[in-house]
Structure 1
Amino acid sequence: MGILLAIIIILFWTAHLLYSLLYVQTSIANPWMWFHMLVQGYLYTGLFITAHDAMHGTVSVNRKINNFLGWLAAFLFAGMWFPRLRRKHMLHHQFPGTEKDPDFNERHQNFWLWWFGFMKNYVTWYQLIIMAVLFNLLAIIFPQPAIFAFWVIPAFLGTLQLFYYGTYVPHRKPHTPDMDIHRTRTQKRNHVKAMLTCYFFGYHHEHHLFPRIPWWRLYQTKEQ
C-alpha cells in the first residue's frame, strides 16, 4: 500500500502540473487558476509527506525502493536531497522542541520569523541551482506566468502548510506537561479535517509516539 500511494501521489502531482501548465489560463480573474493552484499546493504537501514516510522506512520494506521513492518525492518537491533531509529529521525526533532540534526555533516563536529560519536551515545553494535550471527548462515549453502559478507558488504553499501543521502548531511554546518528552500537541479527532490540512499529520503527538506508522494509517492511532 505504501508503494502504491507514493506512486499515486507522484503521478497525480505530475499529471495535474502538466494539465495546469497546458490548459489553465493564468489570469487573476480566472477562479480556476486559483483552484488549481491550491490543488497543486496540496499535492506538493503529499510529495513531502511521501518523502517523510520514506525517512522512517514506511513506504516499502524494500530499502532500495523505499529510499528511491523518498529521493524522488523530495527532489520533485523542491530539488531537495533526501539523505540530508533524513539526517535532520531524525534529529527532530531525537530532540523535539529543543535547541538541538533543527526544526525548532528557541529564539523566535513568531510564525514568520520561525518559518524564515526553518527555510534558511533547509534550503541549500545546490538546491537553488537545481530549481533555477528546472525553471529555465520548463520555460522553454511553457509560459513563465504559468510556471510561477502552478510550479513555484504551490511549492511555497505546500511548505507553509507543512510548516504550520507539522511544526509550528504542534511544537510551539508553551510546552506543557501533557506534551511529554516529545514536546508536541495534537489536533482533536476529526479525520476529514486532519486529512485535508496535512495528510493526518495534525495528529502530531501520535506520529511522535508511533513514528513507524505510515501517514495513511496514522488516523488509526487517534483515540480522542
Structure 2
Amino acid sequence: MRSQVSRGPWGVLIALSVLGAWMGHLVWLLAGANLSLASPLAYPHIALQAYLCTGLFITGHDAMHGTVSRHRWVNQTVGTVACFLFAGLSYRRLVVNHHAHHTDPTGPDDPDFSTRTQSFWPWFATFMRRYTTWPQILVMAAKFNLLLLLGVAQWRILAFWVVPALLGTVQLFYFGTFVPHRRPDTPDMAPHHARSLPRNHLWAMLSCYFFGYHWEHHQSPSTPWWRLWRMRDARARAGALAPGGEPTARQVSPPSL
C-alpha cells in the first residue's frame, strides 16, 4: 500500500493538531474544567471529546497507510502514540489486521467483517472480541489507576475519558465498518465491497472525518483522510460522465497534494 501521492508537511501538522486537541481538551476536562454532570455544558464537552477520540484513531489509521509522512519512522511513531492513547492498542498488531482487511474486504480472512451476522450489535461484539487483548486491558487499567493516583476524581475519568473512548469506538465501527461493508453488496460497491456516504462533505466530516467515503479510501489507501472529499468529488464527476452512473475503479484517480 505504497503512497500514490506526494506528501508535504501537512500530514504531520494535521496529525499533531488532532493529537494536541485530544490531549489538551482531555487534560482540561480532567484537571481544570469547572464542570459537573449536573451542568448541561458537560455533555457537549463529552461529545467533543468523543469526536476527538475518533480523530485520534483516524490519525493512527492514516499512519498505517503511510499518509502522515513520507518518512516511515514518523508514521510508526505517530501511529504508535495515537493507538496507545486511544485505547492502549498495539500499533503493530493493528497494521497486520488492517492490511488483511484491505487485502480481502468482507472475505473469509477479513478480521473486520462478520460472516455470521449483519446486525449491528452482534457484529460489533464480534469485532470487539477480535481486537481486544489482555495487554490492552492491563494498559487501560494502569492508565485508570494512574489518573486516580494523580488525584483525578473517578467520575471525571469515567465521564471525560472512558465514555468518550467508548463512543468514539462505536462511531468508528458504525461509519468505518458496519455501514460501508454490510451486505448485500450493490454495484456501486465494486470492486472493494465498500460503499460511501451520500455526497455531503459537512456530514462526512462531522460523522467520521470523511472516513464514510469508504469506497474512495479502499480505491486509494494512500490518500489521507483530509483529502478523501476530493476523491469523492472526482468520482462524482466521473460518474456524471459515465453511461452507467457510478465509475469503475480505473476512472477515479487519487488527487495530487
TM class by shorter chain equals over 0.9
Say whether residues 1:39 and 2:43 are aligned partners: no
Q: 1:148 to 1:171 in 2, by over 3 A?
A: same
Per the normalisation by structure 2, the TM-score is 0.85
Quote the residue 1:5 is aligned against.
14
Partner residue in 2 for 1:83: 92
* Deviation per residue, 1:180-222 (Å, 9 max, x gap): 1211111111111100000001100010001100011111101
Structure 1 counterpart of 2:70: 61
CA distance in 2, matches of 1:192, 1:24: 31
Pairing 1:187–2:197 present: yes
1:219 maps to 2:232: no
Q: Which amino acid aligns with 1:218?
A: L
CA contact (8 A) 1:24 1:33 kept: no
Q: Give the deviation of 1:177 after TM superposition.
A: 2.7
CA distance in 2, matches of 1:151, 1:139: 12
Tell me the SS of whatever aligns to 1:189.
Answer: coil
> What is the total number of aligned residue pairs between the two structures?
223
Partner amino acid for 2:209?
A: Y
* Aligned twin of 1:107: 116
Letter in structure 2 aligned against 1:165: F
Structure 1 distance, partners of 2:68, 2:34, is 33
Aligned amino acid, residue 188 of structure 1? P
Residue 137 in 1 paired to residue 152 in 2?
Answer: no
SS in 2 for 1:106: coil
- Summarize deviations over 1:98-157 as a string: whole Å, max 9, x none: 221100001011100101110111110000000001100001220000000011000000
Residue by residue over 1:64-86, the C-alpha shift from the partner in whole angstroms, topping out at 9 and shown as x without a partner, is 11110010000000000101001
Structure 1: which 4+ aligned runs deviate by more than 6 Å?
A: none
Distance in 1 (alpha carbons) for counterparts of 2:36 and 2:64: 36
In the alignment, which residue of structure 2 is the partner of 1:121?
130
> Helix, strand or coil: the match of 1:31?
coil
1:25 Cα offset (Å): 2.2
Which stretches in structure 1 are left out of the alignment for 5+ residues? none
Q: CA deviation at 1:24?
A: 4.1
In structure 1, the partner of 2:82 is: 73
In structure 1, the residue matched to 2:211 is: 201
**In 2: Cα distance, 1:30 partner to 1:109 partner:** 38
Q: Find out whether 1:165 has 2:175 as its counterpart.
A: yes
CA distance in 2, matches of 1:90, 1:148: 33
Name structure 2 gaps, 5 residues minimum. 1-9, 237-257
Residue 18 (str. 1) matches residue 27 (str. 2): yes
- Matches of 1:7 and 1:112, distance apart in 2: 33
User: C-alpha distance in 1, partners of 2:197/2:119?
Assistant: 20
1:41-80 alpha-carbon deviations (Å, 9 max, x no partner)? 0000001000000000000001111110010000000000
2:161 to 142, 147, 151: 151
Query: For 1:116 and 1:24, how far apart are their aligned partners in 2?
Result: 36
Contact 1:26 1:145 in 2 (8 A): no
Task: Name whichever structure is richer in helix by fraction.
Answer: 1
Q: What's the % identity of the aligned pairs?
A: 51
